[in-house]
Amino acid sequence: MLATCKLCLRKRHLRNSHILPEFLYDDVYDSKHRTFEVHGEQPDKPIYLQKGIREYLLCDECEQRFSLLESYAAPIIREIPSLQLASDRVSFQTVTVDYTRFKLFQMSLLWRSSISSQDLFSKVDLGGSLEECLRQFLLEERPGNPHNFGCVMFMLPNTMHLKRMIWSPSIDYIDGRLCIRLITGSIIWFFAIIPFPEDHAIQKLFLPRDGTLRVLLSPWSEDDLLEEIVRTMRGLA
């Protein structure tokens, strides 16, 4: 399919790309490699998916650029569910990552969710200027400062049902600032879209430049999140 690549903006043959990388959903497929897509529009018609959610978004070169970030991030992310709780009881043992590659990987999840036109991602739309700013960070491979599209990562250990679903990202607000929450298996990615003041506590939770990745214990229980899903599916959210 010949069209404009969403990342480099050149006219190229586009690949039918996964919107989010498949390894984030290692646990969600059943023995026939099927999973459910859950979203509000058709609550009584769960859709079986066999190849994940795809869209023609990127040219070969840009797809390759993201695939390098994914190869770097995948083993780190697969290790997170086995991290021990730290002595503070609210975070897990830290992991040291490469700031540039891991931060770009985080930003790529947000950007891909925003540019996708699939129903599942319809709540995530950063709008023209923020989306363009994020595109340039990714194209130029600049991770920016920790607070630029900063991501706080949470983990919900021992989930029974959540890890079996691909779930729509949702919108949240902290102190009136727009945030986007993305759940993949037992990991929750919480992106701050609008920058917070320099002395705000959230700044300490973003990935710092020295690459010390601190994953927090999810403040949402699995029941809270499932209840939210049910509310969304009933169209009440």
Could you give the count of Cα atoms lying within 13 Å of 80 in the half-sphere of its Cβ?
Answer: 26
Of the listed pieces 1-9, 14-22, 40-48, 64-72, which binds Zn ion according to CB under 5 A? 1-9
Q: Which of 85, 106, 108 is nearest to 215 (CA)?
A: 85
Other beta carbons within 10 Å of 59:
23
> Sign of the CA dihedral 78, 79, 83, 88?
negative
Residue 67 C-beta: closest distance to Zn ion, Å: 13
Give CA separation, 23 vs 18, 19, 155, 216, 236, in Å. Answer: 11, 12, 16, 21, 31
| Per CB under 5 A, 8 contacts Zn ion | yes
User: Does 5 interact with Zn ion (rule: CB under 5 A)?
Assistant: yes
Closest CB 155 distance from Zn ion, rounded Å: 33
**Residue of this chain nearest to Zn ion (CB atom):** 5
Total residues at the site for Zn ion (CB under 5 A)?
5
Distance of closest approach, residue 12 Cβ to Zn ion, in angstroms? 6
Report in angstroms how near the CB of residue 176 gets to Zn ion at its nearest: 36
CA angle 169, 170, 175 (to 5 degrees): 135
Q: What binding mask, one character per residue, do residues 39-78 give for Zn ion by CB under 5 A, x or -?
A: --------------------x--x----------------
- 8 or 178: whose CB is closer to Zn ion? 8
Q: How far is the CB of 113 from Zn ion (least distance, A)?
A: 18
For residue 115, state whether it binds Zn ion (rule: CB under 5 A): no
Q: Write a three-state SS string for 118-159.
A: CHHHCCCCCCHHHHHHHHHHHHCCCCCCCCCCCEEEEECCCC
Binding positions for Zn ion, rule: CB under 5 A: 5, 7-8, 59, 62
